[in-house]
Amino acid sequence: MTPALEINGLTKRFGEKLAVDAIHLRVPQGSFYGLVGQNGAGKTTTLSMAVGLLRPDEGTARIFGADVWSAPDEAKALVGVLPDGLAMPERLTGREVLTFLGLLRGMPRDEVLRRADELLDVLELSGAGGTLVIEYSTGMRKKIGLATALLHAPRLLVLDEPFEAVDPVSAATIKTILRGFVRGGGSIVLSSHVMALVEQLCDHVAVVDAGRVAAAGPLDEVRGSRSLEDTFVALVGGEDGGVKELSWLSR
């Protein structure tokens, strides 16, 4: 079966810095795929290239077989994206952002309005639907960003840190929505630093380290008999296992 997302040899340099080093990743259809890695490991750069937001130096990304760079219309119709540090039209209200993006995607106006109201309601943003995005908190921005990713009912969701700054009640709602999406045949790739969350939600995981994949596959195969956190620290923590102390801080 064609993978939901297939990344082959994606590479990105920022000046001297090799941020992503010929990464390969295969996200099977119907999987809930977690991407974990230390700060600066290259997760955001990889996901941005995978969905066509950042041009790679080398390599390809395909969404259900459609090349993100040579067949962008086909690829982008199939994917919903929550980018990192989402740039939003700040002077629009949450409802206007959804309407604007839905119409840009060519959806019928009635359908856009209906789905926008439903998304605002489910994500507990109804009260803020008429508020300008510039006045939103970080968590509210995440939620409206997620709503824009879901609006056109894509087949693949690519979510960069979807739970960052989101309160526990909203997080529970988002988990339910994402699980339902996968149950209904959708595929998800998300990045997160919260190992417990990845273990709870994901059936596949890739550990990214210094721009490369250190381990990838079904969750149970990657972590074996250990917790994902222990596996992660063992894989990327270096010789000291990621545990350093500040001697001058203790009394």
DSSP, residue by residue, 74-139: HHHHTEEEE-TT----TTSBHHHHHHHHHHHTT--HHHHHHHHHHHHHHTT-GGGTTSBGGG--HH
Is 187 a binding residue for ligand ATP by CB under 6 A? The answer is no
Contacts of 78 (CB under 8 A, 6+ apart): 63, 64, 66, 154, 155, 156
Is 14 a binding residue for ligand ATP by CB under 6 A? The answer is yes
Phi-psi region of 224 (alpha: psi -120 to 50; beta: other; left: phi over 0): left
Is 43 a binding residue for ligand ATP by CB under 6 A? The answer is yes
For residue 9, give the nearest of 24, 20, 31 by alpha carbon: 24
Residue of 31, 45, 187, 231 that binds ligand ATP (CB under 6 A): 45
Residue of 5, 19, 147, 149 that binds ligand ATP (CB under 6 A): 19
- Give the binding range for ligand ATP (CB under 6 A) out of 39-47, 68-76, 132-140, 166-174: 39-47
- Give the binding range for ligand ATP (CB under 6 A) out of 36-44, 75-83, 97-105, 229-237: 36-44
Is 44 a binding residue for ligand ATP by CB under 6 A? The answer is yes
State which amino acid sits at residue 25. Answer: L
Is 55 a binding residue for ligand ATP by CB under 6 A? The answer is no
Strand partners, 28: none
Quote the CA–CA distance of 5 and 87 in Å, as a whole number: 24
Is 37 a binding residue for ligand ATP by CB under 6 A? The answer is yes
Is 34 a binding residue for ligand ATP by CB under 6 A? The answer is no
Nearer to ligand ATP, 98 or 166 (CB): 166
Applying CB under 6 A, what is the total number of residues that bind ligand ATP?
11
Is 142 a binding residue for ligand ATP by CB under 6 A? The answer is no
Would you tell me which residues interact with ligand ATP (CB under 6 A)?
A: 14, 17, 19, 37, 39-45
